[in-house]
Amino acid sequence: MMTYTTFQEKPYRPRRRLKRSWRIALTVLCAALALSAVYVAVLVRRQLGSNQNPADLSGTPGYGVAVPDWVEEDLLPLNAYSRPGEALPEISGVVIHYVGNPGTSAQANRNYFAGLARTGETSASSHFIVGLEGEILQCVPLSEISYCSNTRNYDTIAIEVCHADDTGQFSPDTLASVERLTAWLCVQFDLDTDQVIRHYDVSGKICPKYYVEHQEAWTDLLAGVEKDIRGFTDETA
């Protein structure tokens, strides 16, 4: 009996070992193929963002609209995560946000949006960022959508606003720039202050925090926009 079992087992062992190593090799190969497929898919998705034809944007209301000289143009590179190059077919509102990252500069937030092209961490961007000293950066042209305001991405202009602390309140310089920029957009695209809304009004998100928690501060901001609209229209009259 002993000789029989050893005789039986011996010829099978190498074959079983061979099978196991084939199985491992196959698993490794499949995993490598799957990883390559994911990598190619990511590359293709990134490429899609940069293959948009700018000519497609010529029918949009924001096409060819130049920003005032108090806005610094610092456009994001075309990419699927923060500047997909898709047309903004309609402008029927301006949405105000706060960055939610106390003490960060307009430039730092702009660089974060630009970096998403590489990290693919999430999809986010805004047309403008107003900084702690009232500086204004433009990240996305007015003819293209930004990724900021959920269901209103295709008919609004988004403004992200920097703030010094957790309250989310804008400094006087920042606030003055937000009002001025918003007023300029209202004049440019024939909007009323009731078309100036908070992210909160779109999705219920507590953004811009201070102006959701303090309704009177939001009303004051809109009054400031109204005043600046009158200033602009008097200038051009």
For binding to Zn ion (CB under 5 A), which residues are involved? 97, 199, 207
| Cβ at position 105, least distance to Zn ion in Å | 18
| Cβ at position 221, least distance to Zn ion in Å | 15
| Cβ at position 112, least distance to Zn ion in Å | 14
Q: How far apart are CA 53 and CA 197, in angstroms?
A: 31
| Cβ at position 100, least distance to Zn ion in Å | 8
Question: What is the phi-psi region of residue 98: left when phi exceeds 0, alpha when psi lies from -120 to 50, beta otherwise?
Answer: beta
Nearer CB in complex with Zn ion: 160/179:
160
| Cβ at position 197, least distance to Zn ion in Å | 11
SS3 233: helix
Longest dimension (CA), the chain: 111
Residue 169: closest CA among 108, 100, 88, 236 = 100
Decide if 81 contacts 117 (C-beta within 8 A): yes
Q: How far apart are CA 35 and CA 20, in angstroms?
A: 22
Contacting residues for 4 by C-beta, under 8 A, at least 6 apart: none
| Cβ at position 231, least distance to Zn ion in Å | 27
Sign of torsion, CA 170 143 227 218?
negative
SS3 111: helix
Nearer CB in complex with Zn ion: 152/199:
199
DSSP class of residue 100?
S
Decide if 78 contacts 85 (C-beta within 8 A): yes
